[in-house]
Homo-oligomer: A and B are copies of this chain.
Amino acid sequence: MRETTVIRLKDDIQLNDPILLVGLPGVGHVGKLVVDHLIEKLEAEKVFEIYSPHFPPQVMVSEESTVKLVNNEVHICKTDERDLVLLGGDHQSTTTDGHYELGGIYIELAAELGVSKIYTLGGYPTGKLEHTDEVMGAANDTELIEELKELGVTFKPNEPGGGIVGASGLLLGLSKFKDIKAACLMGLTSGYLVDPKSAQSLLAILSKLLNIEVEVSELEERAKDMEKIVANLIEAKQQQQGVLRDTAVEEDLRYIG
C-alpha cells in the first residue's frame, strides 16, 4: 500500500446540515471516548474506512482473535436537528507530513459531505488528578467562540500555551482554507489515564450544542477497556526493555566509513 487509501462503503451520501465531530486518540483519549460512545449510542453507520502508510504497521486483535488493520473511520447518523459525521480511529499519523496529508483528505471529505462546522474533541492535560467539569476551547472563527462561551466553554488568552498539536489543531487550521468554521473542545483531564469523567463533561457540552441526549453510563466501562489496551502496550513495552533486538541498525550505530 503506497498511498493513503479511502474505502467508500456507501455511495450517494445525502446529509441534513451536517456537523463533523472528530475524536482521535490523544491525551486521556477524551475525544476518542466521546466519538466511539456516540457511534454506538446513536447507532451511527460506517461510510468510510481510511488506511494509510502513515499509520503504524499494526493490526488490533479482537475478542474473537480476529485482526483489523489500524485505521480511521467515518460514521454518519441522524439526530433531531441535523446529521452528524463522526471521525474516529485507532491512531493518528506517525509522521508530520502524514498529518497534513490525512488532514487535507479529511477536510475535503468534510467539504464533500457539506459539513458546515467541525468540532475536534480532545483532552487538556492539567497534571492534576482532581476532576473538573471545565471544557476549554479554541476556534478558527470569533462568532463560534461567542456561541461556545454562552454554552459554558472556557476560553483563555493564548491557551493552550504552545498551541494545539495533532489532528484537533491541524484540522482547525486546514478548515479555515475551506471556509469551514471549526472549534476544538478540550475536556480538562490529568493526562495520566483514559478519563471517562472528562469525556462526560465534553458530552455535556455537546448535548447542549447539538441538542442531543446521550446516555453516559457505559462511558466508564468503555474507558476501562481502552485503559486495558493502553496498559497492555505499556506492559509489552516494559517487557521489551530486555527483549532481543533484531538486526536493526540502531540510530546511534556509527558508520564504519
Residues on A lying within 8 angstroms of B by beta carbon are 1-2, 22-32, 52-70, 90-97, 99-101, 103-104, 120-127, 137-142, 145, 155-170, 172-174, 176, 184, 186, 191-194, 228-240, 242-250, 252-257
Q: How many copies does the complex hold?
A: 4
Provide the bound-state CA to CA distance between A247 and B162, in Å: 7
In the complex, the answer to whether B164 meets A61 with C-beta atoms within 8 Å is yes
User: Which residues from B are CB-within-8-Å of A145?
Assistant: 64-66
| Contact A256 to B122, CB < 8 A, known contacts A65-B145, A236-B162, A242-B192 | yes
Provide the bound-state CA to CA distance between A228 and B26, in Å: 24
Q: How far is the CB of A126 from chain B (nearest CB, A)?
A: 8
Q: How far is the CB of A143 from chain B (nearest CB, A)?
A: 11
| Contact A242 to B96, CB < 8 A, known contacts A163-B59, A256-B165 | no
User: Which residues from B are CB-within-8-Å of A253?
Assistant: 165, 233, 236-237, 240
In the complex, the answer to whether B255 meets A166 with C-beta atoms within 8 Å is yes
In the complex, the answer to whether B67 meets A256 with C-beta atoms within 8 Å is no
The CB with the most chain B CB atoms within 10 A, among A58, A167, A176, A234, is that of A58
Provide the bound-state CA to CA distance between A253 and B235, in Å: 11
User: Which residues from B are CB-within-8-Å of A96?
Assistant: 53-57, 94-95
With A27-B254, A32-B257, A230-B244 already in contact, 14 other A-B pairs whose C-beta atoms are closer than 8 Å: A27-B243, A57-B165, A58-B164, A58-B170, A61-B160, A65-B155, A94-B249, A127-B239, A158-B232, A163-B247, A184-B257, A186-B257, A191-B243, A243-B254
Across the A-B interface, give the 5 residue pairs with the lowest CB-CB distance, nearest first. A122-B257, A161-B232, A166-B255, A69-B173, A26-B257
User: Which residues from B are CB-within-8-Å of A92?
Assistant: 246, 248, 255
In the complex, the answer to whether A141 meets B66 with C-beta atoms within 8 Å is yes
In the complex, the answer to whether A230 meets B243 with C-beta atoms within 8 Å is no
In the complex, the answer to whether A244 meets B27 with C-beta atoms within 8 Å is yes
